[in-house]
Structure 1
Amino acid sequence: MAVVEELLHVTSRSALFGILLMLLSVLYFFSSRSRSQKKEKEPPGPKPLPILGNLLHLDLKRPHLSLLSMSKQYGSIFTVHFGPKKMVVLSGYQTIKQALVTHAEEFENRDMNHMFSVFNEGRGILFSNGKNWKTMRRFTLSTLRDLGMGKKGSKEKIIDETRYLREVFEKFKGKPFRTSEPVSYAVSNVISAIVYGSRFEYTDPVFIDMITQVKENIRLMGSASIQLCNLFPWLCSWMRTWKQIMINRERNPLFHEENLKYTVSNLFAAGTDTTAATLCWAFLLMAKYPHVQDQVQKEIDRVIGDCQARMEDRKDLPYTNAVIHEIQRIANIVPMSLPHTTTCDVHFQGYVIKKGTCVIPLLTSVLRDENEWKSPNTFNPEHFLDEKGQFVKRDSFLPFSAGHRVCVGESLAKMELFLFFTSFLQHFRFTPPPGVSEEQLDLTPAVGFTLNPSPHELCAVVRNA
């Protein structure tokens, strides 16, 4: 019996030791896991609600403003939940540059929400990834160069189009009219002439329908209902805006072809909306700030007189060049860029962003960065001038985004903005409609995926008439 009792005693001690060892192992596991989580913590952010996430914190009509406000509380990198979908927001010039340029490969993928997936099916260049995107981007850039983008041929196409658009403006004889439609036709004709090989008449019903569809779809994509549809795809079939977009999609054969036509449609849409919107902002801002318009016109008169403006004149027009850049900065056309996703787990600024996480480069936080701009919320061409009045490039000027996903049409857009703007300030004086003061001109952007001016009218008075 004594032997048995001793064995039981030893066995119980062994069991107790085993239990203690197991407990210590479990504690060590959770302790080491906790330390690992502290070392590899995810970006902070507001606590999400089930299903809704942080939707109650967001203005879905102007989400970029809500996110900009959040960045002041949570810092330059934070997490926000759009419904059930977790997104990481990057804010400020230094953070966005580090992500999109220094860590370009890790952040290069495009996030495919429900809308983008339905429209592009992973083809084209704007909404595709991997080998398809890289191949199509290389093909697009090389083909556009072969077709004359950035060369003398494209400059001549732009100059020709300025003449057609001037004729339209002159027909109003200084009376108020909406600039948005004819400006969209002119800008679209530039990319059409390059890609399709010919321009369209502004009265061509097929052309008008194409432009109308592009603008309407871009407007709808920024609506609150479509954003909810992206978050909860099962809602789509019930939504009127979704049905309208699908009708538009079926009407346009470009969206039913293979990569070439998807790519061309991407170029047509992107090459029309953003540049046209910027030019509309330009004319509106000139009417809003007549003293800036005065200085631009004095410089143009002094340097080029009645001659046709050329790209070579840009270096001799520092104030005009500064004004164009400031228009792009303050217009803030694509405030949230296009969403990215991470290609792998990324260790970034002390946080871990998991592979496949949607990332929003908040471009509005760069163009309005208080650390980079003297008066970020004010229209001030001095941002791009030195003390001698010479033009100064600014690294934090990123209206075309940066890194591997930088806009493929950047060089063409810059050329268009300079040649259209100088030509029209050379020939016209932009003023508010009769009975409307400069102060009454509204700079609140319309709701949409890109920020166009709200509907308005201006007078384009021929100078020296």
Structure 2
Amino acid sequence: MALLLLGLLGLLGLWGLLRISARRPSPAQRWPPGPCPLPLVGNLHLLNISQQDRSLIELSERYGPVFTVHLGCQKTVVLTGYEAVREALVGTGPELADRPPIPIFQLIQQGGGIFFSSGARWRAARQFTVRTLHSLGVGQDPVSDKVLQELACLSGQLDHYGGRPFPLALLGWAPSNITFTLLFGRRFDYQDPTFVSLLGLIDEVMVLLGSPSVQLFNIYPWLGTLLQLHRPVLQKIEEVRAILRTLLKAQGPPTPRGDPAQSYMEALIQHGQGGGPEGLFAEANMVACLLDMLMAGTETTSATLQWAILLMASHPAVQGCVQEELDRVLGSGQPPRPEDQRALPYTNAVLHEVQRYITLLPHVPRCTAAETQLGGYLLPKGTPVIPLLTSVLLDKTQWETPGQFNPGHFLDADGRFVKRAAFLPFSAGRRVCAGESLARTELFLLFAGLLQRYRLLPPPGVSPEALDTTPAPAFTMRPRAQALRAVPRP
């Protein structure tokens, strides 16, 4: 078996060399500089697989803010720093709005869905999603009321622990249920088998997507297919799909077309009655859209809320300042509302700093839809491009103390909240997160509501400084599993 594998690697390396030699750029094309690639591995030997974004930042210090890196045999352009990333995401228009064909997501979504589709199909799915979220009340009072109802349910769960340690992951139940409510038209009891199954599967999928085996599959799909590296994640995805199909069938007849839908799923079914552009409302693509919304809507906000509470427990002085402001502005009995953010500059600054500091989603690659000028270089159509968001959120030219958790990044000398142009956790341009408004509302109301009610503390015998704030290996930079205490405030 070992000899067979070595032989296959040798053949793959020869194929890679032939492929590279056959790719002679046109005289007009100019590629950015970058490290010299090795046969087969390209520049993978220069990258820490668990902290690839940090390795790319180190390479940018040598090769500049726009450089070329070879991920195996795939020639990829990396953009680092606020100026280079913003110019690409905001200044290029549709030229950088596509996704490259990432092998694992090609298998999962077959070019459908919202986040890893491209071209006309992506535009149709995104327009439908943005329009539907708005019609469901995102950014308006109806959704804010749902968030506050979920906050009460989460508080009930924390109260059951009576100040004893609870698992940090429990905090993710509330934002996940808000997403489920918008997708399926109803909230789930936290012990509901469907709710428990979906959360467990989403967790497993996110860990598998960030695993070395899936990363290897994406770089060498032929070898990955031979070794079946993709099978575990596809099996879990199929279990999620089965639940989504069951929920679709249980939806019943939709409201007549033209009447307001009560959920994202109902809107898909309702519009499917009249066909749709690019097969958007075929059942397979309905499930693909639901799958994307489910995965992105639960993981990102859930992980960010967990990070926010963990960082409060590890920075008690910051937590105390937030609670002093909440008490002074809202009092103890008035729940927060979205409009209160303006009167809570310190709380707002802390939430923004949490999102900057954790760099939850370091990068999702783009692809040039046509020959594109970037940073003085002319890139051919189909070039994968990585706008490295980590490098923006940690840019030394934009942040005074980029490596430290410092809410002062978003406050002026008088304590007023300051918007920062380099705050791009939701990306920017045409691919900016479709759920940004929902995520901001959820995070503010849940974070402020929890700090109004509880002191967040480490478990007994653990100091705040000893809490583990290193990210766990997964598709996102999620916090590691651990316990905290939520002690009711007098």
Query: Match of 1:149?
Result: 138
Query: Match of 2:370?
Result: 344
Match runs of 1:79-118 below 5 Å: 79-118=68-107
Q: Distance in 1 between matches of 2:131 and 2:480?
A: 36
Query: Match of 1:361?
Result: 387
Counterpart secondary structure, 1:109: coil
CA separation of 1:168 and 1:243: change in aligned 2, threshold 3 A: same
1:413 to 2:439 alignment: yes
1:283 to 2:327 alignment: no
Q: Distance in 1 between matches of 2:478 and 2:44?
A: 24
Q: Please list the CA deviations of residues 21-69 of structure 1 after superposition, one character each: whole Å capped at 9, or x if unmatched.
A: xxxxxxxxxxxxx9x85x7421111111111111111111111111111
CA contact (8 A) 1:427 1:462 kept: yes
How many angstroms does 1:236 deviate by?
Answer: 2.8
1:236 to 2:263 alignment: no
Matched residue type, 1:229:
F
Q: Identify the match of residue 467 of structure 2 among 435, 441, 447.
A: 441
Matched residue type, 2:339:
E
Q: Identify the match of residue 330 of structure 1 among 342, 357, 366.
A: 357
Q: Distance in 2 between matches of 1:174 and 1:240?
A: 46
Q: Distance in 1 between matches of 2:382 and 2:40?
A: 20
1:320 to 2:309 alignment: no
Q: Distance in 1 between matches of 2:99 and 2:110?
A: 13
CA contact (8 A) 1:341 1:357 kept: yes
Query: Match of 1:196?
Result: 184
CA contact (8 A) 1:87 1:357 kept: yes
Counterpart secondary structure, 2:230: helix
How many angstroms does 1:178 deviate by?
Answer: 1.1
How many angstroms does 1:241 deviate by?
Answer: 5.4
CA contact (8 A) 2:29 2:380 kept: no
Q: Distance in 1 between matches of 2:454 and 2:440?
A: 21
Q: Distance in 1 between matches of 2:75 and 2:208?
A: 23
CA contact (8 A) 1:147 1:195 kept: no
CA contact (8 A) 1:148 1:194 kept: no
Matched residue type, 1:250:
E
Q: Please list the CA deviations of residues 377-411 of structure 1 after superposition, one character each: whole Å capped at 9, or x if unmatched.
A: 10000000011101011111000000100000000
CA separation of 1:420 and 1:241: change in aligned 2, threshold 3 A: farther
Q: Please list the CA deviations of residues 251-304 of structure 1 after superposition, one character each: whole Å capped at 9, or x if unmatched.
A: 233688422221122111111001111111111100111000000000000000
Query: Match of 1:457?
Result: 483
If the length of structure 2 is used for normalisation, what is the TM-score?
0.85
Q: Distance in 1 between matches of 2:93 and 2:471?
A: 31
Query: Match of 1:210?
Result: 198
Matched residue type, 2:433:
C
Q: Please list the CA deviations of residues 292-342 of structure 1 after superposition, one character each: whole Å capped at 9, or x if unmatched.
A: 000000000000012111111111100000000000000110012x11100
Q: Distance in 2 between matches of 1:377 and 1:316?
A: 28
CA contact (8 A) 2:217 2:225 kept: no
CA contact (8 A) 1:445 1:451 kept: yes
1:122 to 2:111 alignment: yes
How many angstroms does 1:443 deviate by?
Answer: 1.2
Greater Cα shift, 277-286 or 261-270: 261-270
Q: Identify the match of residue 155 of structure 2 among 166, 170, 173.
A: 166
Q: Distance in 2 between matches of 1:407 and 1:142?
A: 14
Q: Distance in 2 between matches of 1:183 and 1:104?
A: 38
Query: Match of 2:175?
Result: 187
CA separation of 1:242 and 1:312: change in aligned 2, threshold 3 A: same
Matched residue type, 1:76:
P
Matched residue type, 1:424:
L
1:303 to 2:329 alignment: yes
Q: Distance in 2 between matches of 1:461 and 1:310?
A: 23
- Percent identity over the alignment is 45
Query: Match of 2:272?
Result: none
Matched residue type, 2:179:
I
Counterpart secondary structure, 2:70: strand
How many angstroms does 1:184 deviate by?
Answer: 2.2
Q: Distance in 1 between matches of 2:341 and 2:375?
A: 39
Match runs of 1:241-280 below 5 Å: 242-253=230-241, 257-280=283-306
Counterpart secondary structure, 2:41: coil
Counterpart secondary structure, 2:131: helix
CA contact (8 A) 1:40 1:350 kept: no
How many angstroms does 1:350 deviate by?
Answer: 1.8
Matched residue type, 2:345:
P
CA contact (8 A) 1:123 1:262 kept: yes
Q: Distance in 2 between matches of 1:73 and 1:237?
A: 35
Counterpart secondary structure, 1:258: helix
Q: Distance in 1 between matches of 2:313 and 2:226?
A: 43
CA contact (8 A) 1:149 1:194 kept: no
CA contact (8 A) 2:241 2:291 kept: no
Matched residue type, 2:222:
W
How many angstroms does 1:344 deviate by?
Answer: 1.1
Q: What runs of 5+ residues in structure 1 fail to find an aligned partner? A: 1-33
Q: Identify the match of residue 408 of structure 2 among 353, 373, 382.
A: 382
How many angstroms does 1:431 deviate by?
Answer: 0.9
Matched residue type, 2:136:
L
Greater Cα shift, 204-213 or 73-82: 204-213
User: What stretches of structure 1 move > 6 A for 4+ residues in a row?
Assistant: none
1:49 to 2:38 alignment: yes
Counterpart secondary structure, 1:80: strand
CA contact (8 A) 1:334 1:399 kept: yes
CA contact (8 A) 2:306 2:479 kept: yes
Counterpart secondary structure, 1:62: helix
How many angstroms does 1:239 deviate by?
Answer: 4.8
Q: Distance in 2 between matches of 1:240 and 1:416?
A: 39
CA contact (8 A) 2:67 2:77 kept: yes
CA contact (8 A) 2:427 2:433 kept: yes
Q: Please list the CA deviations of residues 223-253 of structure 1 after superposition, one character each: whole Å capped at 9, or x if unmatched.
A: 1111110111123345575221121122233
Counterpart secondary structure, 2:76: strand
Q: Distance in 2 between matches of 1:449 and 1:367?
A: 18
Matched residue type, 1:218:
M
Q: What runs of 5+ residues in structure 2 fail to find an aligned partner? A: 1-23, 246-282
Q: Distance in 1 between matches of 2:290 and 2:190?
A: 20
Q: Distance in 2 between matches of 1:238 and 1:281?
A: 38
Query: Match of 2:257?
Result: none
